[in-house]
Structure 1
Amino acid sequence: MREGTRKLLAACKREVPSLEAAKSLLTSHARVLTYMAELQRRKTEECLDKLSVDEDGRGHLKPCLAKVSISDIRIPLMWKNADHIMNKGDHNRYAVFCLLKVGTEIYDTELHMNIDRTACDVTFEEVFTFDKVKPDFNFILEVYSYNLHKDLTIASTPQKNPQKTQLHRIGQKD
């Protein structure tokens, strides 16, 4: 799947299909890395379970697993006063999506397009359910963005030299 998505990404000439392909590639790459880490963790746990047996020959009790649901994700946006309140500054528009991770389960939200300085927040209304969650779980929410238009006009025109689609994790420096 990753190889097919790479080929699709290389062949894309338009921005929206290119973003969707980059999002799919990022999500599948995250899943592969997570599955590899989980396989390693299970092998390590299997070896440790063989060594950890009580004096009377019984194993340890394992904690119960839970089901965790996440819904209505709302991400407030912070703009400079000149951009948001005074309606001055740049006219950049962004595409935004999130990756949600618990254990080996990874979900991605829909891709929100054309987020600009008029938006106060980004809301994802999907419901995500994680099954068989351990008591000591870690929840990771990664927010990715892509600057759609880097021009200074409201009515944007297509770029003559399209750039490579590169998604940026929020908080990540270039």
Structure 2
Amino acid sequence: MMKLKTNICNFLTIVLSCLLFLTITSPIKAQNQSNSQQKNEFWRNVQFGGGLGLGIGSGYTNIMVAPSGIYNINPYVSMGLGIQYSYVKQSDLFDSHIYGGSLISLFNPIPEVQLSAELEQLRVNNTFTEATPKIKDNFWNTALFLGAGYRNQNVTIGLRYNILYRESNYVYSQGWMPFVRVYF
């Protein structure tokens, strides 16, 4: 079962990477335009955004940074890349470093609705400090999020579901996740 999951994830990664490459390289304009005009056309269709997170409590710290960028292929379809890093620490229990990247595709059938698919690959480095000696648990985690949200200009609020979620997953506590997505 795990081998099948890995093969599916590898296949999806390859397919999404190829689609992203083709869609970013396909909007080349006529040959009579200068290189600077072509570059300007490309950058007009690029948007940047991402997320920041900070959670602090009694002996608990959670810091997250997740920048991303998308290329608007047309008014309905966008594709992009993101990176993520987070640090989580619970005093006298554990600390965790999580980092990786994602491929994201967005579809806007009408201006107010945004559908999304995001393939995320994270490296997780956990150290459980409550045990003596300390226990290290390092692994890769793959997530495939399918989502839908309400969109108003460059802000989308919605809900997504990790179809690869398992209860033994130590990255996300559940499959459903609300999100706020902002691109400038």
Q: Name the TM-score, length of structure 2 as normaliser.
A: 0.30
The higher relative CO (CA closer than 8 Å, separation ≥ 6) is in: 1
Q: Rg bigger for which structure? A: 1
